[in-house]
Structure 1
Amino acid sequence: MREFKGYLMILAAAILWGCSATLAKLLLNQNVSTILIVQTRVTFSALILLVFYLLFKPHILRVGIHDLWRFALLGVLGVAGSNFTYYFAIRESTVATAITLQYTAPLFVMANTTFLGEEKFSTIKLAAAIVSLVGCFLAVGAYDTSVLRLSTAGLISGIGSMISFSFFTIYTRHVLSRHNVWTTTFYALVFASLFWLVVNPPWSIVGENPVGEVWKGLVVLAIISILVPHSLYFSGMRYVVASRAIITSTLEPVVAMVSAAIFLAEFLNPIRVAGAALVIGAIALLQVQKEEGTIQNFHAVRESDAS
């Protein structure tokens, strides 16, 4: 039952990530820069959590100084790193190319966790990872060679995106073995925000001079693309092993595709719909076989801290 609860949380996170892509597209259409969108998502989320915790749960902010490096790794390499390399890959190639490269991550995660003995190898999981990758490939239209473009920089950044996304999923479980979801979410976002302040300092943000409606859109985007889904994903990771979690998260581009079709009138052809069906099928395939061995879950880790 707890594992099912974890799947629901991760699916909810993927749905929000996918829906948020439509709002991000609307902001981009208003000439808001990509870096401002990426940066404000984590910064506003961290600020919202900071205010809430200071007012209602200040004890959640207390961590040992010797633990900060773990949050820094998760925030910089996992949260900021996956975003930075993903959007850089888009700039140097195409959206379809970047997504295809990033969603090879389930295979990388499975190989890593199996090699380290954290999970047992399963042909069902391998099949689900391959089917989800093929599904993503079709859903984003990567079968059309005209939308695929690959440069050396695009390939390197795309692989970097895959590695960062994999690290984000694998390392989250290690951090959650020591800290509760809320502390982990907050400090990961804080260090991701600090990274973006170095890349894009405040005076650069002011220089863009966004109008009031844009700021409102950025706050909403922060909530539905980072604050809520990251909290859900981290929560789900307490009950679901890394490989199953990341395969489940491949629902994101499918939701983004459907959301764009509904709200942006983007065209859906049968091949893309078939790709979406494959992704959903891959997630369903995971339910055929339960995880072998003992699944370490972290529902009891420092839960008293969050009360």
Structure 2
Amino acid sequence: MHYFGVWFVVLAAMLWGISGGLAGILMEKGWDPLVISFYRGAVGLVCLSIWLMLRPKPKGEENKRKTILWSVLAGIGVAGNFSFYFLSISQSGVAVASTLMYTAPLFVFMISFFLNWERATTFKVVSIFVVMIGITLLTNVFEVGLGSLNLIGILSGLLSGLSYTLFIFGFKFATEHGRPPFVLTTAFAAFTALMLMIIDLEEMVSVLYSDDLIWFITLGIIGAGISFFAYLEGLKKTKASLAAVIAMVEPVTASLFGVLILGEVLTFIQVVGILMILVTITLLSKKQS
């Protein structure tokens, strides 16, 4: 059963990584990153709603007011995470965007530190500096004169990680008062409502009549439907510390997709930066867990 849980988490991380690659394909076809983000979440909402309806309602129902409040906050985090992640992909590529998003555990620690939920240790402080060096190498900041610095891509990638942090806190507090399936469904409902207010509605409707509709549906099913179900099922049988290490599969999968499928090119220095970030964040996440 333990290994069953591990493979569920691995599956979720791989699907999240692949979803970044699929989004890259859709962007190459000319679709707006925000519209792609909307369909990922909206299709995911349908999948999660079905999951919620099939799950029996436990006795002693959750505190719905607090659950909904924190779930909506988590939904805002999802909206920012998906949107900034796909925007970063459009500007900097899948490999860079996925690695920058993976800085989320670092933001979790920094926020926890400033709120006095956690104390700083030598290891955690050193981790921050190592990740900063890794980001510098990954984004080629030192070669700004060669035009390799893309501020929009870099900031979007970091904002996607910060938004993911908001989702982590929202989801954490929401599940203290309610069931994960209900929390996720409510979060994605909030996500969908928010995105409808900011996306190009005309382009959103045009997707329904395009040849790429199947790609959008596939993205939503694997990037928000099956993946979240698999991750939560996996966590039931997997230690959080182990899940933190397995999560590294996501940016690695996304980076490989970008290089092998989309033809992205990484320099040796960028590869070193990716490895520094992934290894350090993974160790930090494991220690946090």
Asked if these proteins are the same fold (TM beyond 0.5), I'd say yes
Rounded to whole Å, the distance in 1 between the matches of 2:89 and 2:217 is 23
Judged with a 3 Å threshold, the aligned counterparts in structure 2 of structure 1 residues 136 and 40 are, in CA distance, closer, same or farther, namely same
| Structure 1 residue 147 corresponds to structure 2 residue 145 | no
Provide the residue aligned with 2:74 in structure 1.
74
How big is the alpha-carbon RMSD for the aligned residues of Structure 1 and Structure 2? 4.1
Give how far 1:51 is off. Answer: 3.1
One-letter amino acid of the structure 2 residue matched with residue 30 of structure 1: K
Would the aligned equivalents of 2:96 and 2:138 in 1 still touch at CA under 8 Å? no
| Structure 1 residue 192 corresponds to structure 2 residue 194 | no
| Structure 1 residue 269 corresponds to structure 2 residue 267 | yes
Would the aligned equivalents of 1:97 and 1:150 in 2 still touch at CA under 8 Å? no
Would the aligned equivalents of 2:23 and 2:86 in 1 still touch at CA under 8 Å? no
Give how far 1:52 is off. Answer: 4.0
Provide the residue aligned with 2:27 in structure 1.
28
Rounded to whole Å, the distance in 1 between the matches of 2:127 and 2:12 is 19
Would the aligned equivalents of 2:137 and 2:269 in 1 still touch at CA under 8 Å? yes
| Structure 1 residue 215 corresponds to structure 2 residue 213 | yes
Provide the residue aligned with 2:17 in structure 1.
18
Provide the residue aligned with 2:205 in structure 1.
206
Judged with a 3 Å threshold, the aligned counterparts in structure 2 of structure 1 residues 175 and 240 are, in CA distance, closer, same or farther, namely farther
Provide the residue aligned with 1:47 in structure 2.
46
Give how far 1:277 is off. Answer: 2.7
Rounded to whole Å, the distance in 2 between the matches of 1:158 and 1:111 is 17
Give how far 1:228 is off. Answer: 3.4
SS in 2 for 1:258: helix
Give how far 1:261 is off. Answer: 1.7
Provide the residue aligned with 1:166 in structure 2.
165
Provide the residue aligned with 1:178 in structure 2.
177
Q: Give unmatched runs, 5+ long, in structure 2.
A: none
Would the aligned equivalents of 2:64 and 2:177 in 1 still touch at CA under 8 Å? no
Rounded to whole Å, the distance in 1 between the matches of 2:134 and 2:113 is 24
Normalising to structure 2: TM-score of the pair? 0.74
Judged with a 3 Å threshold, the aligned counterparts in structure 2 of structure 1 residues 113 and 13 are, in CA distance, closer, same or farther, namely farther
1:253-283, Cα deviation, whole Å (9 max, x unpaired): 4432222222223334322332333234325
Would the aligned equivalents of 1:94 and 1:147 in 2 still touch at CA under 8 Å? no
Judged with a 3 Å threshold, the aligned counterparts in structure 2 of structure 1 residues 53 and 110 are, in CA distance, closer, same or farther, namely closer
Give how far 1:41 is off. Answer: 0.3
Judged with a 3 Å threshold, the aligned counterparts in structure 2 of structure 1 residues 49 and 131 are, in CA distance, closer, same or farther, namely same
Return 13-22 or 187-196, whichever deviates more.
13-22
Q: Give unmatched runs, 5+ long, in structure 1.
A: 296-307
Rounded to whole Å, the distance in 2 between the matches of 1:114 and 1:65 is 29
1:55-105, Cα deviation, whole Å (9 max, x unpaired): x23638x765523222111112x11123334555677x7559877875654
Give how far 1:106 is off. Answer: 3.7
Normalising to structure 1: TM-score of the pair? 0.70
